[in-house]
Structure 1
Amino acid sequence: MDTTDPRVGSARDNSTSPGLSRQVAGSNSSSLNSLLATLVPVLVWSALCIIIFVVLRRKCPRVYAPRALLKSLEPHERSAHLPNGWFNWIKEFYRVPSSFVLNHSSLDGFLMLRFLRVLSVICVVGIALLWPVLLPLHATGGAGNTELDRLTLGNVVSGKRLYAHALLAWVYFPFILYMISRECVYYINLRQAYLLSPYYANRLSSRTVLYMNVPRQYLDEDRLKWVLGKSVRRIWIPQKTPDLDRLIKEREQTALRLEKAEFTLIKTANAARRKALQKQQIEYERERYHASPRLGPISDTTSGITEQSSPNSKPANISEAIRSPASTLCETEKPLPDVNGSVASQWIPHSARPHHRPIANYGRRVDTIKWTRTQIGKLNSKIAQVRRQQLFKTRNLMPSVFVEFETNTDAQNAYQTLTHHRPLHMSQRYLGVRPFEILWDSLSMSWWESIIRKFLMMALITAMIIFWAIPSALVGSISNIEYLSEKVFFLKWVGDLPGAIKGVLSGVVPALALSLLMSIVPGILRYCAKLAGMPTLTRVELFTQHAYFAFQVVQVFLITTLTSAASAAVTKLLEDPTTAKDLLSQNLPKASNFYLSYFLLQSLAIGSTALLQFFNLFKFHVIQRFSNHPRKIHTRWHRLQRIHWGTVFPVYSNLGVITISYALIAPVILGFAAVGAAFLHVVYRYNLTYVYDSEIDTKGLVYPRALMHMLVGLYFAEVCMIGLFSLRGAFVPVVLTAALLVVTVLVHISLLDAVGPLLWSLPKSLTVEEDEHLLSKHPEQQHANAANDLEECGFPPGFDTSTDEHYTGDSRALEGADGAMNALGGGLKKWAKKKVKTDYPLLITTWNSFGSFWMRWISPNPAEKSNFFLRWLHPEVFSDYTVLRRMIPPDLPDPVYPKELEPDIYYPPSFIAKPPCLWIPRDPGGISRQEVEHTAKVIPATDEYVSIDKKGAITINLEATTPVFDTERLRY
């Protein structure tokens, strides 16, 4: 299992540890002991991982800095090399700005770092606001709790002290609301700047729109051009190609079988050749010694081999070609020897050649190389025939089309326009779809099939969220195996086991089993997303993010919190049901102690493991040593570790939900969350800069979803506080918190209405400005009018206008009573202003200063000097489109597409797939050269950049540009 996966341990990891029930059991708390029992091993493990990372970073650049090492990456994608010292790299690492990730990796990665910073800021501000008030208030609450339980709301007895919680909630929770709102504004401006930059706007996908559920009569290029306008450049109408898909898949499997057989043949023949040459050399030296015993040392140990014969009566010219066991690659460049049959047959018998027994041949043995060559030739003919037939077919067309427009602006206009008059027809459209992330099976679905599949998958996921608690509880029950052995008769034998074994059974086993159980959830959710009809891998990630967050909240937060509080109180509740109110109000806050350990595990332990890259260490320094297949070695070397944001963001969104929910109930949790988020920020900053690759790019759409998910924490906190206040009889705090809940709902709705339309579409105003290159022409002019309003007559905006100064008062031009009243009111207003200017100049000066001061905070001018608080308060001014546009360098290269690929780029892969190029090692005996020559008649093959040395080991030039793998990644 890949221990670098942030999901491992992310769902109720050790949530049912043996100390959990004791943590909420009563006043004799062992919460501090339990926390230390978790903290010590976590700190030891984290320190060990960091030490190993510091030591091996210098020796294993492929593991710890592949983005600085691999030449297959484009220059603008590579990271600068860090110094190779022990600690001098730290300073250089912190000099790399976060915007480097934006320009060299992905927008998602940059926003992941920003999300962790936002979470840290929320926690630090909470510490500054809440700790000075709530920690002393809780510690002196009078309930008699000890250790960490003393610092929770459960230790407060008096209802009057709860006024502090309600008032602080009105300060802290609006701050969180504003942080989320301003981050949404920041994201929208950043996304607009990113999508309109030439680096992205010039891509083919940025001006191509995918329409789904297209009616049959509109699957025609002429009609689509007539509907969509003259800006259409090219249209792709894909077809269903099941037969072609099957043939392409069969050809690839056959080609890989041929490559494997060629590799086996070359390796076997060269091993036999080496043995034969060694035997001939030994015999020659023996004969030479007996024939002339007084001869000196042998100076040319191989000259006599030319007269010897191979085990299969090799001709003389063959011996010339292989006279030296240490033949170099230069010697293999000579022409092939003129022999009849296979060169390999000179060293191995026919029975030693690779063979297999295909079912289609009734299980009879066949020569694998000859059989696969024949099959590939037949498949090539069938594939060409099917493709010719597909060109003239009008049946089996998918109800989806790809339309390329002339510019990004034209594509945006088409994307934002309702195309068809019938419901659900062509209404499902997507912009920015890259060819390699298309799920072609989803494009074949009709509109009604998509709806049915989506609801079925939603029902399945809901059922899984509900019933997943059953296996989790069964696994978690093992943690209480000692208690169960006293109550369950068939577990009596467990009590007789040694203490060490019982400790392993109750600690390590359930934690490991639960981690393995939870780690399979994201894979299931991603598969459900594909079955639900998501058309692209990006949409799969967004679907998975929602589903996995719901799973995290229910399993990690709700079930753990409620069951912890209920299990601690159930015994006393059965004895005296009238104490239910007091028991719940005391024990519910104590359940937060578990999350202190959870945050340590999730941030320090998992974060340090991700920094260690244990799986990559094992892959490149253990598996690589025992792998001798060139294609696998090359693919493994050049493939960066990919990260799936749909399963990363929910884990940390849930951390934010837990932190906000317990912020006022157990403020200590803010400290652990702040340290954890800061450490995770460092880990992800390093890995995103030097290790990770974000191939599936959502254009940052995971970020606003994660922010909205954090609002769930506000709802939980407010509802929980209302419940706790009600149990204590504090009715005024209940009313205050209920009012805050209403405000939160209203702000949430308003935020969705304001931000929602801008998440998917680009405004026309910005596209026009970008197309006309107006951004460089005084972007601050749009704020000049608001700043100049203060200069008119010495009044703030709205108090006096130029229209009022030039009012003529001609009532003859007015009709009706309304006009007369407007004229009278305007005259009185004009007279009053003149009177104030003349009689009260000091009042004018005071009002002027007052208005100038507040207008600077309400509507600041970006051209003026600003402070940090002013920039934080107005992201719409100081982090607007024109400012963030400068973060993206203008000199990034434009995408270039092969001419032969571009016309067919949005057709199914099987329609344009080329046969794979076989890659076999070059050998001193010339076997590979003959095999390449024969195989190339049916399928491309090469023996360049890989060879077999004199000991039979495979040598690969991993950094060479091979014809087998297209290391240049196209930016669609």
Structure 2
Amino acid sequence: MDDTFERSFSKAKQLYGASLSSFIASISLSVIMFLLEVILFLTIRTRFPDIYNNAPSYTRNTITSWKEHITTDILRFDCEIKHFDRYFFRRYLRSLLLIFIPASILITPILVSLNYTNGKNAESGVSGLDTLGWSNVGLDQADRYWVHLVLSLLFTAYVCWIIWNELAFYVAARQRSPNITLRTVLIDSIPENWMSEKTLASQLQVFPADITTIYFNRDYSAISKLAAKRKRLAEALETAETANMRKACRAGVEKRSKWSSFPKVSRRMCYQLRNVMNILTWLGHEKVDTTMFYREELRKTGEKMQAYRTKRDEFPLLRSAFITFSSPIAAQIVCQTVIHTNSGYMTPRTLPLSVDDVIWSNINISWSNRTVRTVLSNVLIGVTATACVVPVALAGLLSQIIYMSQAVSWLGWISELPESLLGLLQGVLPPILVAILMKTFVTVLDYLVRKQGIPIRSHVDLKIQDYYFYFLFIQVTLVVSLSAGLTAIANEIAGGAPLPATLAKNLPKASNYFISYIVLQGLSISANSLLRVDRLFGKLFLSPILDKSVTQMMIRRKGEEIQWGTFVPTFTNLSCIGRRLFYPKALKHLLVGLYLMQACLLALFLLVRDSQGNARCIGQACVMLFTTGLIVVYHRLLRRAFDPLLTFFPTALEIPSAEDTAPSVPFLHKALTSAPIIRIPSDNCGISSTRVSQLREELKDVTITDTDATITKSGKMCLR
């Protein structure tokens, strides 16, 4: 009996403070990595101006200047709107700071002291970090939950006020944006009998403006293939020319006249051209000079493309068109009006921001095909998200593994592990596993959404934002909460403990995982954003090995564009932008967090029991239920007030006419206007200038330049 008691006491002692050790392990590792990255950033910032060129610098580091900076950039946010999505993403972060910093300063000290003072002890199953939470409130101290209720009501009202004010500011800023002058509408699924300018114009003459141009899209897939081939040939020619330049510089060639004889064909890179039409030539492996072959192929491809472009009106018509009106108001009305009597025709009607905003491969998809694609894509996204439940749930189980070891006998060895190792196992590993899974899901999600046939890139990003946010919300929030809570509950339910009291005590323990997750995400994202690890690693290690041309170096230095659809929901999920609609959508996503908070508090109030097993928080639950109803009414009013203003512009605005605005840019297929660029590094010997002149004379339709990079005598290239 004594041995059994001793083993039970030892396990209880190990269980005590397990969540605290996990939290400390998570915090310590995250803080160490954060400090190392910040120190490295401060050390190397001036050595890599091409990577850290946007880092702000303050001439005065006095307290007064920092007060002015905080007041201007955070409280009032007096910034010039140059890039809408970037500006409003910064404003979104500022909104989150305004929500959570005051709430943390006010709510955390009150609730932590309230929950900890005269609370339950380890004998009641509450220990470690759990003593600071909801589950530590004493059985006969239910009146303290009124404080939780009042603070939750204040927090809810404050968040609703922030969201309303920010949406009002966004609408005002959007109505001053250049989008107000958009006059070109993209219409898909045009009926066969409307496929003429005269017929289509007669159907659209009811709108209050003249039609300036109607441009029917055509099937330019043949030209697109040639454009892709020409681009590959130009890249290969640039790589070959750069390799020859490096050889010339390393060999010490210093006279321009020597370029024509250096290097000789026998010493230059050779391309084995197999002629499948002649078996003898194929067996002989005829060797052709690399640059000569690429130049000849590039010239032939360019001539063929030019011949196609001169006959572009002979390509088959697609059932879509760009229609430009003389007034932006008419374009706005067209997008909001039902035009055809049959469903699916003359839809969708969109206002593309630019030529680059159009996905040309998706503009010839019929409405029925697009519907089938959307259904299949949604099914595959749902299956993929469901498949992620198991690994995410396992991460939740891992975050509460010490409780699981008490319920499952064969996991008893876990309780014998050192506290430091147990802390790493519970506090650090689960968030890392979830982060890796999220990266994988992003790739699959992006591919499936783009296959739905949406013709506008900004619409694709907005849809990805919705999908990804709800995926994060369900997987990282709900699944982890349930799995982490069940591990703590299973042991006590098996011992015959009452269900309501057990749920009320153990479900809040899942918050330990989210504290670790938020700390890990917050510190890692902020440090990585400063250091830009991907670009630094690419410049120092990948670029010297993989980049063989100036264009490749420029692409690596530029880095990848921010994918707003998957970038913003990460921050939204931690708190519960593109067509310039990322910001209002992210603000609305915050309401999902409010709904979840209301539901959780309502359930927890109903589960509170005193020492006699009686429900003690029915009044708080009723107030919370009424508050949830008010949130629904607020949400409805919010949508009625702002939704019409988020997509289109009101007619009361002074919208410039066609005469007062810049001419509308024709939405021509990119294959009709694209032209490759060959960049040769400039040297001090005059080789590059001679080579540029020769290539310009030979390749008339290709842009040749040597102004983007230089090359040293050792063959090292540097971007300007």
Q: Please give the TM-score of this superposition, normalised by the length of structure 2.
A: 0.83
Which among 559, 568, 571 is matched to residue 649 of structure 1? 568
- Cα gap change, 1:920 to 1:85, in 2 (>3 Å): same
> What is the aligned-residue identity percentage?
25
Which residue identity is paired with 2:504? Answer: S
Over 3 Å counting, the alpha-carbon distance change for 1:101 and 1:221 in structure 2 is farther
Distance 2:506 2:407 in 1: 24
Q: Deviation per CA, 1:631-680: give whole Å up to 9, x if none.
A: 2234444x2653222112211211221xxxxxxxxxxxxxxxxxxxxxxx
- Conserved 8 A contact 1:409-1:767: no
| Aligned pairs (5 A) from 1:508-547 | 512-547=432-467
Q: 2:680 is aligned with what amino acid?
A: W
Q: Which residue of 1 aligns with 2:388?
A: 468
How much has 1:106 moved relative to structure 2? 1.7
Structure-1 separation of matches of 2:472 and 2:187: 34
Asked whether the 8 Å contact 1:209–1:431 carries over to 2, the reply is: yes
* 1:909 is aligned to 2:670: yes
Letter in 2 for 1:148: L
Q: Which residue of 2 aligns with 1:114?
A: 91
How far apart, CA to CA, are the structure 2 residues paired with 1:225 and 1:30? Answer: 73
Structure 1 residue 561 displacement after superposition: 1.0
**Secondary structure of residue in 1 paired with 2:698:** coil
The residue number in structure 2 matching 1:219 is: 195
Tell me: CA distance 1:498–1:569, structure 2 relative to 1, closer, same or farther (3 Å). Answer: closer
Q: Of 742, 763, 766, which residue of structure 1 is paired with 2:650?
A: 763
Tell whether 2:125 aligns with 1:148: no
The answer (yes or no) to whether the contact 1:218–1:224 under 8 Å persists in 2 is yes
Q: Look up the equivalent residue of 1:698 and give its one-letter code.
A: R
Who is 1:753 aligned against? Answer: 640
Select 2:169's aligned residue among 186, 189, 197: 186
| Aligned mates of 2:671, 2:78 — CA distance in 1 | 34
Q: Is residue 550 from structure 1 mapped to residue 470 from structure 2 by the alignment? A: yes
Q: Does 1:708 align with 2:691?
A: no
- Counterpart of 2:299? 377
Which residue in the other structure is 2:706 paired with? Answer: 944
Secondary structure at the counterpart of residue 218 of structure 2 = coil
1:540-559 deviation line (CA, Å, top 9, x unaligned)? 21111111111111111111
**Structure 2 unaligned runs (5+)?**
1-9, 277-281, 609-614
Paired letter, 2:674:
A
Q: Does the 8 Å CA contact 2:405/2:412 hold for their aligned counterparts? A: yes
Which residue number corresponds to residue 63 of structure 1?
A: 51
Partner of 2:620: 733
> What letter corresponds to residue 119 of structure 1 in structure 2?
L
Structure 1 residues 352 and 414, CA gap change in structure 2 (3 angstroms): same
When structure 1 is superposed on structure 2, of 523-532 and 415-424 the one drifting more is 415-424
2:17 matches 1:36: no
* Post-superposition offset of 1:48: 2.8
Q: Which string of whole-angstrom CA distances, capped at 9 and with x for unpartnered residues, describes residues 465-503 of structure 1?
A: 222022345677788999999999999999999999999
SS of 1:722 mapped into structure 2: helix
Residue 351 of structure 1: SS of its match in structure 2?
A: coil
CA distance in 2, matches of 1:23, 1:935: 80
Q: Cα gap change, 1:734/1:217 in structure 2, threshold over 3 Å: closer, same or farther?
A: same
Distance apart, 1:623 and its partner CA: 4.4
Aligned to 1:352: 267
- In 2 relative to 1, CA 374–486 (structure 1 residues): closer, same or farther, beyond 3 Å? farther
Tell me what 2:6 maps to: none
1:259·1:920 contact (CA, 8 Å) conserved in 2? no
Spell out the pairing of 1:664-743 with structure 2 (5 A cutoff): 697-699=578-580, 701-728=581-608, 729=615, 730-743=617-630
CA 1:717–1:92 in 2, change beyond 3 Å: closer, same or farther? closer
SS in 1 for 2:46: coil
The equivalent residue for 2:531 is 612
Deviations 1:36-92 (A, max 9, x none): 22223333332333333333333332222248xxxxxxxxxxxx8754999999789
Deviation for aligned residue 1:93: 6.5
Inter-CA distance 88–59: structure 2 relative to 1 (3 Å threshold) = farther
**Residues 497, 354 of structure 1: CA spacing in aligned structure 2 closer, same or farther, 3 A cutoff?**
farther
Select the residue among 205, 214, 217 that pairs with 1:235: 214
CA contact (8 A) 2:188 2:345 kept: yes
Residue by residue over 1:72-122, the C-alpha shift from the partner in whole angstroms, topping out at 9 and shown as x without a partner, is: xxxxxxxx8754999999789668747989645422222222222322333
What SS does structure 2 have at the residue aligned with 1:745?
helix
Whole-angstrom CA distance in 2 between matches of 1:556 and 1:103: 36
**1:595 has 2:356 as partner:** no
Partners in 2 of 1:648 and 1:519 — Cα distance?
Answer: 11
Contact 2:250 2:715 in 1 (8 A): no
From the superposition, tell whether residues 486 and 930 of structure 1 become closer, same or farther in structure 2 (CA, over 3 Å): same
Specify the SS of the correspondent of 2:175. Answer: helix
Q: Normalising by structure 1, what TM-score? A: 0.63
Q: Distance in 1 between matches of 2:504 and 2:11?
A: 15
> What is the one-letter code of the residue matched to 1:605?
S
Which amino acid is 1:435 matched to? Answer: V
Letter in 2 for 1:722: L
Please state how far the C-alpha of 1:132 moved relative to its aligned partner: 6.5
- 1:767/1:448 CA distance change after superposition, 3 Å: farther
AA matched with 2:592:
V
Aligned partners of 1:374, 1:55: CA distance in 2, in Å?
49
Report the residue type matching 1:366 in the other structure. K
Tell me: CA distance 1:100–1:136, structure 2 relative to 1, closer, same or farther (3 Å): closer
Q: Contact 1:932–1:941 (CA<8 Å) still a contact in 2?
A: no
Residue number among 211, 221, 233 corresponding to 1:254 in the alignment: 233
Q: How much has 1:124 moved relative to structure 2?
A: 4.1
1:734 and 1:431 map into 2 onto residues whose CA distance is: 47
User: Which one-letter code corresponds to 2:48 in the other structure?
Assistant: C
Superimposed CA distance per residue, residues 356-376 of structure 1 (whole angstroms, 9 cap, x where no aligned partner): 234554473431223223322
Query: SS of the counterpart of 2:148?
Result: helix
Instruction: Find the counterpart in structure 1 of residue 375 from structure 2.
Output: 455
3-state SS, counterpart of residue 58 of structure 1: helix
**Structure-2 separation of matches of 1:722 and 1:531:** 41
Cα–Cα, structure 1 residues 748 and 598, in superposed 2: closer, same or farther, change >3 Å?
same
- Following the alignment from structure 1 to structure 2, what is the Cα–Cα distance between the partners of residues 81 and 150? 44
1:579 aligned partner? 498
Aligned-pair CA distance for 1:935: 6.7
Give the drift of 1:207: 2.0
For CA contacts below 8 A with separation 6 or more, give which structure has more relative contact order. 1
Matches of 2:57 and 2:511, distance apart in 1: 43
In 2, Cα distance between equivalents of 1:934 and 1:219: 44
Change (3 A) 1:647 1:734: same
Give the Cα separation in 1 of the matches to 2:242 and 2:68. Answer: 45
Match of 2:47, SS?
coil
- Please state how far the C-alpha of 1:240 moved relative to its aligned partner: 1.6
Q: Relative to 1, partners in 2 of residues 1:253 and 1:912: Cα closer, same or farther, differing over 3 Å? A: same
Show the 5 A alignment for 1:889-908.
905-908=666-669
SS of 1:154's partner is helix
Query: Taking structure 1 as reference, are residues 374 and 647 closer, same or farther at Cα in structure 2, changes over 3 Å only?
Result: same
Q: 1:231: how far off?
A: 2.4
Hey, what's the Cα distance between the residues in 2 that align with 1:615 and 1:91?
A: 33
Q: Partner of 2:7 in structure 1?
A: none
Which segments of 5 or more consecutive residues in structure 1 lack a partner in the other structure?
Answer: 1-21, 68-79, 275-324, 338-342, 658-695, 773-893, 959-972
Corresponding residue for residue 366 of structure 1: 287
Corresponding residue to 1:953 among 703, 715, 718: 715
Question: Once the two structures are superposed, what CA deviation does each residue of 1:487-541 show, in whole Å capped at 9, x if it has no partner?
Answer: 9999999999999999988877665554333212222211111111222221121
Q: Which residue of 1 aligns with 2:490?
A: 570
**Residue by residue, what CA displacement relative to the aligned partner does 1:778-826 show, whole Å, maximum 9, x if unpaired?**
xxxxxxxxxxxxxxxxxxxxxxxxxxxxxxxxxxxxxxxxxxxxxxxxx
- Structure 1 residues 267, 47: closer, same or farther in 2, change over 3 A? closer
Q: Distance in 1 between matches of 2:168 and 2:703?
A: 54
Do the aligned partners of 2:427 and 2:513 also contact (CA within 8 Å) in 1?
Answer: no
- Paired with 1:366 and 1:48, the residues of 2 have a C-alpha distance of 54
Match of 2:5 in 1: none
CA RMSD of aligned residues (A): 4.2
